[in-house]
């Protein structure tokens, strides 16, 4: 009986042993691997520009023969989407802090924002009309527009160099562009002191620019880029005596005018860039101590600026196929700080430029500042070797 049970159990175990020795069935597909974790990527567009120079002072006086290597600044720009039709731009200004006062907390190399704004494209029409709105640190009314014609890396634009206003400020703005860029309107409301300062009073500055490109469909490439712009800037600043003080007759809540206007015309082409402008400004200042013995008196002054420049690639202008990288630059500014006096300031810039490649260039230039008839400005004659590198 026992032998019979052993034989029966052996016969039952035999199929199990044989099945264990057989290879696995590979005809059935393996289960799919688990999906990888979702990765959310945000496209970031990064670019920048580096300004540097070597300068040598050739004028007479205590500064004669002064020379130095100077890294003027570097701009680091980040652009990224912020949802449907929205985007963000942040441009960091890396520069050497030399100023003093409440807005200059650190010495040495510092970083601050020049542009930092949210942009919303509220209009994208199939007919070519486009509109956008911006809020934050954004472009002022005209300087960025003129920089499209003039090489900013050699010198500031005439309006900015004459101190009309800063190139960037905190506020809101809108840009409306017609089909084929035939016309555009740019309008803004900003604080007024510029991106290098905090807000200093309760008043705001209002500006608008209207630009035309009337020959945008012309056959001639030079004429096609001709642009004519007019703009106005209506601003105000608070009184020095806004808070009053001991011995004063009271507080002064009214504002002082700070207005500017301009007409600019230019041609913008890689072979030839021309620009001419006529600018006016009106400012007010206060005299006296706001006391009974020395009452406050508001005094207005008007200024005027004339400027013209040319940026020429002579070999490319004569032959469109030429790649010879030599360029010529000339500019003349005549600034009258106060039209009620005979004083004025002349600025002359002459340069030879050389493109090392499509993104890097050198400029050997001479810049002269000459005050006339008692104008308050330092007379300088400076030789520069400028470098610009875009990346």
- 7-60 residue pLDDT tens: 443 444 444 444 444 455 556 666 778 777 766 667 889 999 999 999 999 887
- C-beta atoms surrounding 36 within 10 Å: 6
- C-beta atoms surrounding 211 within 10 Å: 20
User: Domain for residue 332, yes or no?
Assistant: no
How far, in Å, CA of 289 to CA of 23, rounded? 105
Burial (CB count within 10 angstroms: exposed 0-12, middle 13-18, buried 19+), residue 117: buried
How far, in Å, CA of 178 to CA of 73, rounded? 35
- C-beta atoms surrounding 74 within 10 Å: 18
Position 104 confidence tier, pLDDT thresholds 50, 70, 90:
low
pLDDT of res. 33: 80
pLDDT tens profile 122-173? 999 988 999 999 999 999 999 999 999 999 999 999 999 999 999 999 999 9
Tell me: pLDDT of 102 over 80: no
- Comparing CA positions, the residue from 284, 300, 375, 381 lying closest to residue 336 is 375
Domain with 85, as residue range(s), is 73-324
How far, in Å, CA of 164 to CA of 260, rounded? 7
How far, in Å, CA of 128 to CA of 178, rounded? 6
How far, in Å, CA of 50 to CA of 75, rounded? 7
State the chain's mean pLDDT as an integer: 90
User: Domain for residue 124, yes or no?
Assistant: yes
C-beta of residue 92 within 8 angstroms of C-beta of residue 112: yes
User: Domain for residue 63, yes or no?
Assistant: no
User: Domain for residue 290, yes or no?
Assistant: yes
* Helices within 181-299 (DSSP H only): 221-224
C-beta of residue 304 within 8 angstroms of C-beta of residue 280: yes
pLDDT of res. 15: 44
C-beta of residue 124 within 8 angstroms of C-beta of residue 130: yes
How far, in Å, CA of 13 to CA of 294, rounded? 121
pLDDT of res. 105: 60
- C-beta atoms surrounding 340 within 10 Å: 11
What total of structural domains would you count in the chain?
1
Structure tokens at 166: 């800063």
User: Domain for residue 354, yes or no?
Assistant: no
How far, in Å, CA of 196 to CA of 194, rounded? 6
- 201 vs 3, which has greater pLDDT? 201
Strands (E), 213-325: 227-238, 255-268, 272-287, 297-312
- Comparing CA positions, the residue from 70, 110, 257 lying closest to residue 196 is 110
User: Domain for residue 1, yes or no?
Assistant: no
Q: Please tell me the total number of residues recorded for the chain in this structure.
A: 391
337-355 mean pLDDT: 96
User: Domain for residue 241, yes or no?
Assistant: yes
User: Domain for residue 207, yes or no?
Assistant: yes
282-303 mean pLDDT: 92
C-beta of residue 132 within 8 angstroms of C-beta of residue 154: no
How far, in Å, CA of 254 to CA of 256, rounded? 7
What is the DSSP secondary structure assignment for residue 165, as one 8-state letter?
-
- Comparing CA positions, the residue from 386, 381, 315, 377 lying closest to residue 352 is 386
Tell me: pLDDT of 71 over 70: yes
pTM for the full predicted model = 0.85
């Amino acid at each position: 009986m026992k032998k019979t049970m052993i034989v029966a159990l052996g016969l039952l175990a035999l199929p199990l042993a044989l099945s264990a020795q057989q290879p696995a069935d590979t005809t059935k597909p393996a289960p799919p691997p688990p999906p990888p974790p979702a990765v959310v990527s945000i496209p970031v567009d990064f670019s920048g520009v580096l300004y540097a120079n070597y300068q040598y002072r050739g004028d007479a006086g205590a500064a004669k023969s002064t020379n130095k290597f100077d890294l003027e600044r570097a701009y680091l720009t980040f652009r990224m989407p912020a949802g449907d039709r929205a985007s963000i731009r942040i441009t960091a200004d890396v520069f050497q802090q030399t100023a003093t006062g409440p807005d200059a907390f650190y010495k040495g190399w510092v970083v601050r924002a020049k542009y930092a704004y949210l942009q919303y494209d509220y209009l994208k029409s199939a007919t070519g009309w486009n509109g956008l709105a911006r809020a934050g640190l954004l472009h002022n009314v005209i300087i960025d527009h003129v920089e499209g014609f003039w090489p900013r890396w050699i010198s500031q634009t005439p309006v900015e160099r004459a101190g009309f206003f800063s190139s960037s400020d905190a506020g809101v703005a809108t840009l409306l562009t017609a089909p084929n860029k035939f016309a555009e309107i740019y309008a803004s409301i900003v604080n007024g002191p510029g991106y290098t300062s905090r807000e200093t009073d309760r008043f705001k500055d209002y500006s608008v620019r209207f630009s035309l490109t009337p020959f945008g469909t012309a056959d001639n490439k030079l004429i096609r880029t001709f642009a004519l712009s007019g703009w106005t800037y209506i601003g105000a600043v608070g009184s020095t005596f806004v808070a009053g003080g001991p011995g004063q007759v009271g507080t002064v809540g009214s504002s002082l005018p700070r207005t500017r206007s301009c007409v600019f015309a230019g041609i913008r082409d890689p072979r030839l860039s021309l620009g001419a402008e006529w600018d006016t400004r009106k400012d007010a200042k206060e005299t006296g101590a706001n006391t009974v013995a020395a009452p406050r008196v508001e005094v207005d002054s008007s200024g005027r600026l004339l400027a013209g420049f040319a940026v020429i690639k002579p070999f490319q202008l004569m032959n469109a196929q030429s790649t010879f990288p030599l360029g010529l630059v000339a500019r003349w500014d005549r600034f009258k700080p106060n039209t009620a006096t005979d004083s004025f300031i002349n600025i002359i810039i002459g340069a030879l430029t050389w493109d090392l490649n499509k993104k890097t260039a050198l400029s050997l230039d001479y810049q002269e500042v000459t005050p006339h008839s008692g104008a308050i400005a330092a007379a300088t004659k400076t030789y520069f070797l400028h470098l610009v590198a875009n990346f």
